[in-house]
Amino acid sequence: MDADTIIETVNLTKKYNQYEAVSNLNLKVKEGEIFGFLGPNGAGKTTTLLMLLGLSQPSGGSVKICGLDPLRKAKEVKRIVGYLPENVGFYEDLDAVQSLEYVASLNGIQKNKTEEKINELLELVGLVQDAHKKVGAFSRGMKQRLGIAEVLIKEPSILFLDELTLGLDPEGALRLIDLIHSLNQDKKITVLLCSHNLHQVQRISNRVGIMINGKMVAEGTITSLAKEKFGVGEKEYSLEEIYMEYFQEV
Amino acid sequence: MSGLFAVFKKELCDHFSSYRFVILFALIAMVSFITSYMAGIHMKENLEALAKTRFPFLMLFSSPGALFSMIQFVAFFGPLIGLILGFDSINRERAQGTLVKLVSQPIYRDAVINGKFLAGVATISVLLTSIVLVISGFGLALVGVVPGIEEIWRLLVYLLISIFYISFWLGISILFSIFFKGIATSALASVALWIFLSFFISLGAEVAANAVAPADSQNQTKPEIIVKNMRIKETVSLISPMVLYSKATEIIIDPMRKTTGSIIMMGPMEELLSSRFQNPLTLGQSMIVVFPHMTALIAITLICFAISYLVFLKQEIRT
Ligand SMILES: Nc1ncnc2c1ncn2[C@@H]1O[C@H](COP(=O)(O)OP(=O)(O)OP(=O)(O)O)[C@@H](O)[C@H]1O
Ligand SMILES: [Mg+2]
User: Count of domains in chain B?
Assistant: 1
Asked if A53 and A81 touch (Cβ cutoff 8 Å), the reply is yes
Asked if A164 and A203 touch (Cβ cutoff 8 Å), the reply is no
Ligand nearest to the CA of A39: 1
pLDDT at B310 over 90: yes
Q: Is A248 in the pocket of ligand 1 (CB under 6 A)?
A: no
pLDDT at B231 over 70: yes
Q: How far is CA B313 from the centre of its chain?
A: 28
pLDDT by 10-residue block (mean), chain A, 250 residues = 87 95 95 95 96 95 96 95 94 96 95 94 95 96 95 96 91 93 95 94 94 94 88 81 86
Per-residue model confidence (pLDDT) at position B55:
74
User: What does the DSSP assignment read for B254-312?
Assistant: -TT---SS-GGG--HHHHHHHHH--SPPPHHHHHHHHHHHHHHHHHHHHHHHHHHHHHH
Tell whether B261 is covered by a domain.
no
Instruction: Give me the amino acid identity at B38.
Output: M
- Comparing CB atoms, the residue among B6, B97, B109 nearest residue A106 is B6
Tell whether B289 is covered by a domain.
yes
Range of lowest pLDDT (A116-120, B220-224, B256-260, B291-295): B256-260
Domain range enclosing B150: 4-196+282-314
Residue scoring higher pLDDT (B258 or B119): B119
B96 interaction partners in chain A (CB closer than 8 Å) = 89-92
Q: What is the pLDDT of chain B when averaged over all its residues? A: 85
Task: Quickly list H helices, B87-200.
Answer: 91-96, 99-103, 109-142, 149-179, 183-195
Per-residue model confidence (pLDDT) at position B150:
85
Spans of all domains in chain A = 5-90+156-249
HSE (CB half, 13 Å, CA atoms) of B42?
19
pLDDT tens digits, B28-42:
888 887 887 887 777
Per-residue model confidence (pLDDT) at position B51:
55
Q: How confident is the model at residue B53 (pLDDT cuts 50, 70, 90)?
A: low
CB contact under 8 A, A105 and B102: no
pLDDT tens digits, B8-18:
999 999 999 99
Tell whether B276 is covered by a domain.
no
Instruction: Give me the amino acid identity at A38.
Output: L
ipTM of the complex: 0.93
Per-residue model confidence (pLDDT) at position B255:
76
pLDDT tens digits, B95-141:
999 999 999 999 999 999 999 999 999 999 999 998 888 888 877 88
Distance in Å, alpha carbon of B125 to nearest chain A alpha carbon: 25
Whether chain A has a CB inside 8 Å of the CB on B18: the answer is: no
**Chain B interface, mutation test: which of A51, A102, A113, A159, most B Cβ atoms within 10 Å?**
A102
Tell whether B187 is covered by a domain.
yes
Q: How confident is the model at residue B259 (pLDDT cuts 50, 70, 90)?
A: low
**Of B18, B68, B83, B14, residue with least CA distance to B38:** B68
Q: Which CATH topology does A5-90+156-249 take?
A: Rossmann fold (3.40.50)
Ligand nearest to the CA of A25: 1
Whether chain A has a CB inside 8 Å of the CB on B318: the answer is: yes
